[in-house]
Structure 1
């Protein structure tokens, strides 16, 4: 009997490998949190550890645990880990995008569904354990008559609704934050923002896949364990990806950013119920003269506060002038001057002394990835292609 477990095969082995990888990075994050006290590491540790818990429950099943130990009580400990991962996703992104983020007592209410469900499951386990013959079966009377037919379907529906809401709120938080960065900083934090975007896309994909699979299994064709294996496998890949990228992507620089105002959106005049605010030509020319004479765009750390001080304007006034007077956000406005400076240096044959990246750094860019992305966006060609057509 004991030789039946563990049974390594094409279903169990990949899940076991991915779960172990996730656990390794989960504890690396925990170790770093204990050292640096960075709350985002603690939240990501929580995401990974609960995801690995759900993954492990499926993995031991494919390893033959349930067939070998048919009176195991593990079903009392199984639950939809989404009820805890959903708020952890929100708090993780919030801790990254909020300057001086602190965990408040009200934040613990996010985990109230998990606490209540744990108390409920513990209660029915105790009551079932008091019944004769409990130790000879896998599920007790209440587990079979109450939990599986009624509570579990309700918790599944609740979990989907909760994950949908938290993902919606988190995506809104991220896109609002990204818009503020583009309006405030001249060199955006592309690597870190891409990580947050990809992280949210991964969990959005898993959520949608789970919803579709549940609908098919509930209303059309009941899916077997091997057919449901693909969701578990994709979840394992997600755990490994999130663990590796989350550990090695430095997001601490994002949480240090501070925004003291909300930038205005560029409005579309024909959609407005009131006339578009006019920016005086003198103000526009003032900004142009400043950019051309003092060349503040050469500073890679230039932000809206710095430029506002140089222009003797408030931050909101400068933001409004750039948005409405130049029809650009702050990021594109400054980078357009950097691109023009780069083109002039190429025309002056500076590329014979410096590499293209060296010239980009001279013009105020702070990374190769940012330079290439911005150049392609604003000129619709690559720096190499531009050099080839110019020389």
Structure 2
């Protein structure tokens, strides 16, 4: 019963994602497909109530090989603003196709009692051992791929953007870790499959499906409550380390670098570009008239700060000045954080405490 409820809610969430009006149509469709495939996988324990087709039941088993490719594509779509589906992405179907092809001779083309006998012992067949090997290799290939995407996203984000904060990275990272834990549970469940502990196998199946559903619901609710925090980046952007050596090879003198740093710091103090909550490194480079890549190297390499921290430090200094101004005692902390360029209370408090080791209220009262 719990499995049926979990599958139904997954399908309901998928329908909702497909129907909701949003600019993020591609990622919604990918996550909806992800939920649908998981609903099909969850349906295994009660599918026999609705169909006797061995072909359909086997397709349900192999559909699991579509789960991680869909999640991988979803993470790409969420992180990168210019991500689109291309023909090359059809290669993600290869494991699913191979798994079904190896079952063609003894299952899909078999008839009557031969097919029935094979299906009854399918989990002890060489075909299914090969399927499970493909599944495990594929899963860990994609889980590593997702973590690498998130690592690159976080680095590029901190080097090029300020607000909103990095909740997208945190939520996707947490969701991926949860899915990894669920999969470890599934591995244990598959080991139990080959023992006599049938009840434990069913219980683990239910736990894995329920935890997955709760994780998916949690993430969707977060996305709906904080849509402004799901800021995507341009996939053409590269981490600073990828082009630092090239720029250093151009033999810019220390005097030139020192001049540019002084120019940058004076501009930040005099023009206060950090008051723009959506300031990016591209916008700042245009204003200060320094090429984007040179500016990125100056901040991330020579000043040894992420752009994220560099800009927020000026915002915090501005906030400190306001907090200590006796004529502005009536101005609330919330009003101040918006005034200096933050648009999130949590990111303001995190940055302020990182720079001063105090909360804004404690700093004002000290």
Pair in the same fold by TM > 0.5? yes
- For 1:96-107, list aligned pairs within 5 A: 96-107=78-89
Aligned equivalents of 2:265, 2:186: Cα separation in 1: 53
TM-score where L is the length of structure 2: 0.84
Q: Which secondary structure does the structure 2 equivalent of 1:280 belong to? A: helix
- For 1:243-282, list aligned pairs within 5 A: 243=217, 245-246=219-220, 249=223, 257-258=233-234, 260-265=236-241, 280-282=257-259
Aligned equivalents of 1:120, 1:85: Cα separation in 2: 20
The equivalent of 2:300 in structure 1 is 323
- Structure 2: which 5+ residue stretches go unaligned? 243-252
Structure 1 residue 357 displacement after superposition: 1.3
The equivalent of 1:31 in structure 2 is 19
- Structure 1: which 5+ residue stretches go unaligned? 1-11, 267-276
Q: Name which of structure 1's ranges 115-124 and 297-306 shifts more when overlaid on structure 2.
A: 115-124
Q: Name which of structure 1's ranges 325-334 and 95-104 shifts more when overlaid on structure 2.
A: 95-104
Equivalent of residue 150 in structure 1, options 126, 129, 149: 126
The equivalent of 2:90 in structure 1 is 108
Residue 224 (1) aligns with residue 198 (2): yes
Aligned-pair Cα RMSD in Å: 3.3
- For 1:1-391, list aligned pairs within 5 A: 12=1, 14-32=2-20, 38-58=25-45, 60=46, 73=54, 75-79=57-61, 81-121=63-103, 124-129=106-111, 131=112, 133=113, 140-144=116-120, 148-215=124-191, 223-243=197-217, 245-246=219-220, 249=223, 257-258=233-234, 260-265=236-241, 280-349=257-326, 352-388=329-365, 390=366
Aligned equivalents of 1:37, 1:169: Cα separation in 2: 22
Question: Deviations for 1:279-324, whole angstroms, at most 9, x for unmatched residues?
Answer: 7332222222111111111111111012112222111111111123
Contact (CA 8 Å) 1:54, 1:78: kept in 2 or not?
yes
Aligned equivalents of 2:150, 2:62: Cα separation in 1: 25
Q: Which secondary structure does the structure 1 equivalent of 2:61 belong to? A: coil
Aligned equivalents of 1:142, 1:41: Cα separation in 2: 39
Structure 1 residue 239 displacement after superposition: 2.2
Q: Considering Cα pairs closer than 8 Å and 6+ residues apart, tell me whether 1 or 2 has the greater RCO.
A: 1
Aligned equivalents of 2:107, 2:236: Cα separation in 1: 52
Structure 1 residue 241 displacement after superposition: 3.0
Question: Deviations for 1:35-91, whole angstroms, at most 9, x for unmatched residues?
Answer: 868211111011101111111212x27xxx57xx99774643441544111111111
Where does structure 1 differ by over 4 angstroms across 4 or more consecutive aligned residues? 69-72, 119-123, 144-147, 215-218, 250-256
